[in-house]
């Protein structure tokens, strides 16, 4: 049964920008299966917000609910300040860009872009002007007479975005739009889309399972896990200040240690199960409580004789892997797990011989402590 509809959506963006999309306690259940539970977020005008998570996390479900392609089980949606929870897709006036572009093969580029304007009964003279304007915006002014098959994958993606932008929808939804492209083209298109977003001020809700893509493109990331919002914040927030073990482990690489808080006086001191003594900036817990320590591989640096650091560890090199721009070293700690160390590759080379003994160090600010309530898988 449909819930009573509220008359207005509270604006909690904390910005001076107009809220273009809001959801409150949005849920979707399929029988006993929960696809999405109590998702609340606000998307201000001009923001690029990415829904990120593994398969089955709820990101595509959230996008389909916003698009109106599936009805919610509970909660509400506002688009451009208007309640849209039960509006059909064609009444929501939002743009959608799919992975396969969905361009009409029998229509020229100009006709493809003009299609949504013709459906809205815009005057022909205005349509021509709008099409020219949007082709300039995506930097493809000379392809109007071509057919989609005559364009590269990257060009087709830009035309799909142009067709979406031409009628100025309040929000553009992008569902894994780069998933079908090869890596080099995908990297290029990330920059293209981000540049268009910045130049034109469009508001984007973007879905991807690619962590690097989300980090590179987003103003904010909404990380989902098992149908719930795990953490919502800037890429820097999620990467350097994860609030849960899932967030720390899903975004990038992490060294994760079991530990117990030995002292909370001054700089907190923790003891790992492997015998390391580690200092951190913050530890919101009491002495004797267990926690997980998160240390990013790139936060570790190899220490030369005589060098010191806030935190230090010694280990034996198990493997040293050259991957081009970076080199990865895997150290076996005494009574501990493998420790991953990442370094920029230099011309002098940074390969370490297996079996050699090395020391690594890191700063207290680079130790993330997750209290017990944050460590549930």
H-only helix segments in 84-123: 109-119
Q: What is the average pLDDT across 346-353?
A: 67
Please state the rounded mean pLDDT for residues 161-184. 85
CA angle, 19 then 62 then 241, to 5°? 75
The DSSP result for 232-287, as a single string, is: EE-HHHHHHS-SSHHHHHHSS--EEEEEEEEE-SSS-EEEETTS-EEE-S---S-T
The stretch 253-265 carries a mean pLDDT of 91
Name every residue whose Cβ is closer than 8 Å to that of residue 210 and which is 6 or more positions away in sequence.
none
Q: What is the pLDDT confidence band of residue 1, given thresholds at 50, 70 and 90?
A: very low
**CATH tag, 19-94+169-245:** 3.40.50.300
Among residues 133, 128, 159, which one has the least CA distance to residue 146? 159
Query: Percent of the chain having pLDDT more than 70?
Result: 93
- pLDDT at site 7: 42
Q: How confident is the model at residue 376 (pLDDT cuts 50, 70, 90)?
A: low
Share of the chain above pLDDT 90, in %: 62
| Per-residue pLDDT reduced to its tens digit, 54-93 | 999 999 999 999 999 999 999 999 999 999 999 999 889 8
What pLDDT is recorded for position 274?
A: 83
Segment (H or E) for 187: helix 183-200
- Could you read off the pLDDT of 320-344 as tens digits, one per residue? 888 888 889 999 987 777 899 998 8
pLDDT at 267 over 80: yes
The answer to whether 272 and 336 are in contact (CB under 8 A) is yes
With 0-12 / 13-18 / 19 or more C-beta atoms within 10 angstroms meaning exposed / middle / buried, residue 33 is: exposed
Residue 170's nearest CA partner among 86, 66, 94 is: 94
Q: Is 4 exposed, middle or buried (0-12, 13-18, 19+ CB in 10 A)?
A: exposed
pTM listed for this prediction: 0.84
Q: What is the CATH number of domain 253-345+352-374?
A: 2.40.50.100
Where does the pLDDT of residue 312 fall: very low under 50, low under 70, confident under 90, or very high at 90 and above?
Answer: very high
Look at residue 3 and tell me whether its pLDDT is greater than 60.
no
Q: Does residue 6 surpass a pLDDT of 60?
A: no
What are the φ/ψ torsions at residue 35 (nearest 5 degrees)? -85, -30
pLDDT score recorded for residue 363: 94
CA 215, CA 234: separation in Å to the nearest integer?
9
pLDDT of 374 reads 59
Residues of the chain with CATH 3.40.50.300: 19-94+169-245
Is 70 exceeded by the pLDDT of residue 373?
no
- Chain segment 183-239, per-residue pLDDT in tens: 887 888 888 888 888 888 889 999 999 999 999 999 999 999 999 999 999 999 999
The pLDDT of residue 277 is above 80: yes
Helices and strands, number each (H, E), in the chain: 8, 20
- Reported as a pLDDT band with limits 50, 70 and 90, residue 262 is very high
DSSP state of 324: S
Identify the pLDDT of residue 290: 93
Considering the chain, tell me which residue range(s) the CATH 2.40.50.100 domain(s) occupy.
Answer: 253-345+352-374
Asked whether residue 248 carries a pLDDT value surpassing 80, the answer given is yes
Top-ranked range on mean pLDDT: pick from 21-30, 100-109, 282-291: 21-30
What does the mean pLDDT of the chain come to?
88
Banded model confidence at residue 108, pLDDT cuts 50, 70, 90: very high
What is the average per-residue pLDDT within 360-375? 84
pLDDT value for 338: 87
């Amino acid at each position: 049964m449909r819930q009573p509809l509220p008359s207005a959506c509270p604006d909690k963006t904390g910005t001076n920008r107009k809220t273009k999309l809001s959801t409150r306690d949005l849920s979707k259940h399929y029988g006993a299966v929960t696809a999405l539970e109590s998702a609340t977020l606000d998307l201000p005008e001009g923001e690029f917000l990415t829904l990120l998570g593994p398969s089955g996390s709820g990101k595509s479900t959230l996008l389909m609910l916003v698009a109106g392609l599936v009805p919610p089980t509970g909660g509400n949606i506002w688009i451009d300040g208007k309640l849209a929870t039960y509006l059909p897709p064609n009444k929501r006036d939002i743009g959608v860009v799919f992975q396969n572009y969905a361009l009409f093969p029998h229509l020229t580029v100009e006709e493809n872009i003009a299609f949504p304007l013709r459906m809205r009964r815009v005057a022909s003279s205005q349509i021509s002007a709008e099409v020219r304007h949007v082709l300039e915006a995506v930097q493809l002014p000379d392809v109007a007479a071509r057919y989609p098959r005559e364009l590269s994958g990257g060009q087709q993606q830009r035309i799909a975005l142009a067709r979406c932008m031409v009628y100025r929808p309040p929000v553009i939804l992008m569902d894994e739009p780069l998933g079908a492209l090869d890596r080099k083209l995908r990297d290029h298109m990330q920059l293209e889309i981000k540049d268009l977003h910045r130049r034109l001020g469009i508001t984007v809700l973007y879905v991807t399972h690619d962590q690097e893509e989300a980090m590179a493109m987003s103003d904010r990331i909404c990380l989902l896990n098992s149908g719930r919002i795990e953490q919502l914040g800037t890429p820097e927030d999620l990467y350097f200040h994860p609030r849960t073990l899932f967030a720390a482990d899903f975004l990038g690489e992490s060294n994760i240690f079991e530990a117990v808080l030995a002292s909370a006086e001054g700089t907190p001191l923790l003891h790992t199960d492997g015998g390391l003594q580690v200092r951190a900036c913050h530890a919101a817990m009491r002495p004797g409580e267990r926690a997980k320590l998160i240390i990013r591989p790139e936060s570790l640096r190899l220490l030369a004789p005589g060098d010191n650091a806030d935190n230090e560890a010694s280990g034996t090199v198990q493997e040293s892997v050259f991957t081009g721009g970076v080199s990865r070293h895997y150290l076996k700690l005494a009574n501990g797990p493998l420790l991953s160390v990442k370094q920029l590759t230099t011309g002098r080379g940074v390969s370490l011989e297996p079996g050699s003994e090395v020391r690594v160090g890191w700063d207290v600010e680079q130790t993330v402590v997750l209290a017990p309530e944050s460590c549930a898988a």
